[in-house]
Copies of this chain bind each other. A is one copy, B any other.
Amino acid sequence: MTAETGSRARQRERTRRALLREGRRLFAEHGYAGVGLSGIVAAADVTKGALYHHFEGKPDLFRAVLEEVQGEVADAVAAAADARRDPWDQLTAGCRAFLTASTAPDVRRIMLVDGPAVLGWSTWRSLDEAGSARHLREALTGLVRAGVLRPQPVPPLAHLLSGAMNEAALWLAGSGDPGDLDDVWAAFSGMLESLRSP
């Protein structure tokens, strides 16, 4: 190139970032199947050679994007939970943070709709477990051990609650009525409440 763009490592990181950024934008806008590698590399102003130098292929690029998205959601959940001291408040705050974060269009499309189909459900689940699902499971485990929740197996509970929130987020993202969030939260918090020890 004409101008020096920094050291080799810096340029490498720039290219990788550009691919992730444009990939995320296009995947979120048109869906995984609706965007081709040519569109991604053109938007990132590189060639397919660069993409295949950084990633193993289209599914691998998508996986990297998904990990980034799930990481952000997990951070939001953790931040909301850490702002509370009471373990029960941490659970409810984390769930509420997950619900609002997952309603964002790119999260919805990449994480909830295309994710399982592109990577397969088991792979998607392991990524989810590495992200926000781990927070949920750990919070539930802690509450059961502390006696706040009735003694019961945690994994089934975590899956039921996770699935309920995922579907709720998908529905909320499509329903313009902002009052729906309150209704969903009322119903969901009622479910959580029913799990408490008497």
Contacts and interface: CB of A to CB of B under 8 A. Distances in A.
Contacts of A184: 156, 159-160
A194 B190 contact: yes
Q: How many copies does the complex hold?
A: 2
Contacts of A71: none
A174 B118 contact: no
A162 B163 CA distance: 8
Interface string A175-198: 000001001101110110111000
A168 B162 CA distance: 9
Q: Is the interface of A mostly helix, strand, loop or mixed?
A: helix
Interface residues of A, number: 43
Contact of A191 (B33, B120, B194): B194
Interface string A115-152: 01110111001000000000000000000000000001
A26 to B, nearest CB: 16
Contact of A122 (B159, B174, B191): B174
A108 B122 CA distance: 12
Contacts of A55: none
A15 to B, nearest CB: 27
Contacts of A114: 117
B117 A157 contact: no
A92 interface: no
B174 A121 contact: yes
A66 interface: no
